[in-house]
Structure 1
Amino acid sequence: MIIIKKSKEIEYMRHSGRVVGKTLAKLQEYVKPGITTGELDRIAEEYIRSQNAIPSFKGYYGFPASICASVNNEVVHGIPGKKVLQEGDIISIDCGAILNGYHGDAARTFAVGKISKEAEDLIKITKKSFFKGIEKAIIGNRLSDISSEIQKYAESHGYSIVRDYVGHGIGTQMHEDPEIPNFGVSGRGPKLVEGMVLAIEPMVNIGKYNVRVQQNNWTVVTEDGTLSAHYENTVAILNDGPELLTLC
């Protein structure tokens, strides 16, 4: 069941979304060669809690950290720890926060120092694919109109869209209905109506879309070892168009 949010609830989600957006902006300042993913996690948790919010991810189904930190061929759900970032790496950081009982959720892929043009282009196209999808996030359209635009844009540039992991509704729960694939045929799925709040998150690979879960039962990697990027915002469907709640 898709839970439609009232204006007061969306206002609460603006606050939680702002915490997430500011956390990611803060982390970007620290993403440099030599820092560990565990240190980034510590910085994120400290900042989230300083805003009287709670990290959404910590303890969620047993996840041990406040952010997901996925490096290079890691797609999503990378566990922060002792891994040291190296010049030329890319890192996808997924972050969530709860404030006033409502979640915000967003992800960005950052460059670590100077990166290859191949990696730079991947990050750019992943972000642009999100915004192409958002052009269709208007009342009266179908959910798959967003999905289709994301897929078309990414694939038109020679990339592949991860199929095994999708976006989701969000509110008082981190994951609510509906599921939001980043691929598919337009004109399908529920109609978009005012008050829907969606976490839209293309995951884009340089190589094939196939992925597998590592032995820690969390970290998802590309099967062919190629780079992957991730871009996500929490988006409210409103009468005057979509509002991105997790931009600073």
Structure 2
Amino acid sequence: MTITHQDELDGMMEIGRIVANTVRAMKDAIEPGMTTAELDIIGDALLQREGAQSAPRMTYDFPGATCISVNEAIAHGIPGNRRFKRGDLVNIDVSAEKNGFFADTGASFCFGTAHPRLVKLCQDGQRATDIGVAQVGTDRPLGGIGRAIGRFAADRGYTLVRNLASHGVGRSLHEYPEEIPTWPERGEKRRIGKGLVLTVEPFLSTGAFWADRGDDDWTLYSHPNAPVVQFEHTVIATDGAPIIVTLPA
């Protein structure tokens, strides 16, 4: 989607706020022994209260309102009977639609006290995303996002999962430009148009390069097996600093 009118910007800002607030509220609601399904119910209720609906459910018939991935699961985790325990590495990904506008956001965090290496990975995952967001602007190279994130990762000894990319968003959950690399990709020659709406969502790891699909046909796991974190924002390109749609209010 490319923003051309104020009402489009207003619609994107509204759904962006909703999904961002939902991620934050879900994170705050986790308690030891709670199941991922119970947390998903909370997220679903928050979306409905705001007049929004789950985008993965409406678009792909995903078996949950939100994606909740724990430890070895790195993305698209189906809410179920898994119970949270202190020290877990958790990722919550929320995308939703309201009034024809879609926004997508996510965050990884350690629940309770965790190994310092995991805490540092989460901090650096957020930094990697911020670095990527800073590359978004009118007529800037789309590949600049992945190059900047790649430099940050390489300098600190991290790897990037290379088959989970960023994407366009706005009037649908996934749209042009599809498969925006968040790693260095020499063949990426596209440029960013003014008003373009896209996600920035690198998957930073201590050793993984790929995501493999599990037996449930949804949940993704790291390969080689290593901790992975993901932070995601929906952003809009402008002539100046990008507009981050998915900030909690």
- TM-score higher than 0.5 here? yes
The answer (yes or no) to whether the contact 1:93–1:108 under 8 Å persists in 2 is yes
Q: Give 1:201's aligned amino acid.
A: E
Could you tell me how far apart the structure 2 residues matched to 1:191 and 1:15 are? 27
**Which digits, 9 at most, give the CA deviation of each residue in 1:47-81, with x for residues without a partner?**
00000111112243231111111111212111011
The answer (yes or no) to whether the contact 2:208–2:228 under 8 Å persists in 1 is no
Per the alignment, residue 211 of structure 1 pairs with: 211
Indicate the percent of aligned positions where both proteins have the same amino acid: 29
Per the alignment, residue 29 of structure 2 pairs with: 30
Note if 1:159 corresponds to 2:161: no
Could you tell me how far apart the structure 2 residues matched to 1:210 and 1:186 are? 19
Q: Give 1:128's aligned amino acid.
A: R
Could you tell me how far apart the structure 1 residues matched to 2:152 and 2:31 are? 30
Structure 2: where are the runs of 5+ without partners?
A: none
Q: Give 2:3's aligned amino acid.
A: K
Provide closer, same or farther for how the CA distance between residues 64 and 187 of structure 1 changes in structure 2, counting only shifts above 3 A: closer
Q: Give 1:21's aligned amino acid.
A: A
Q: Give 1:194's aligned amino acid.
A: K
Per the alignment, residue 234 of structure 2 pairs with: 234
Note if 1:107 corresponds to 2:106: yes
The answer (yes or no) to whether the contact 1:166–1:182 under 8 Å persists in 2 is yes
Deviation (angstroms), 1:231: 0.3
Could you tell me how far apart the structure 2 residues matched to 1:99 and 1:220 are? 27
**Which digits, 9 at most, give the CA deviation of each residue in 1:24-61, with x for residues without a partner?**
11011112322211111000000000001111122432
Per the alignment, residue 247 of structure 2 pairs with: 247
TM (norm. structure 1) is 0.95
Could you tell me how far apart the structure 2 residues matched to 1:185 and 1:58 are? 31
Per the alignment, residue 220 of structure 2 pairs with: 220
Per the alignment, residue 39 of structure 2 pairs with: 40
Could you tell me how far apart the structure 2 residues matched to 1:240 and 1:103 are? 23
Deviation (angstroms), 1:187: 9.2
Q: Which deviates more from structure 2 when the two are superposed, residues 185-194 or residues 36-45?
A: 185-194
Q: Give 1:5's aligned amino acid.
A: I
Matched position secondary structure for 1:238: coil
Per the alignment, residue 77 of structure 1 pairs with: 76
Selected match of 2:4 from 3, 6, 10: 6
For residues 125-140 of structure 1, what are the structure 2 equivalents within 5 Å? Answer: 125-140=124-139
Deviation (angstroms), 1:186: 6.9
Matched position secondary structure for 2:103: strand
Provide closer, same or farther for how the CA distance between residues 10 and 189 of structure 1 changes in structure 2, counting only shifts above 3 A: farther
User: Across the two proteins, how many residue pairs are aligned to each other?
Assistant: 246
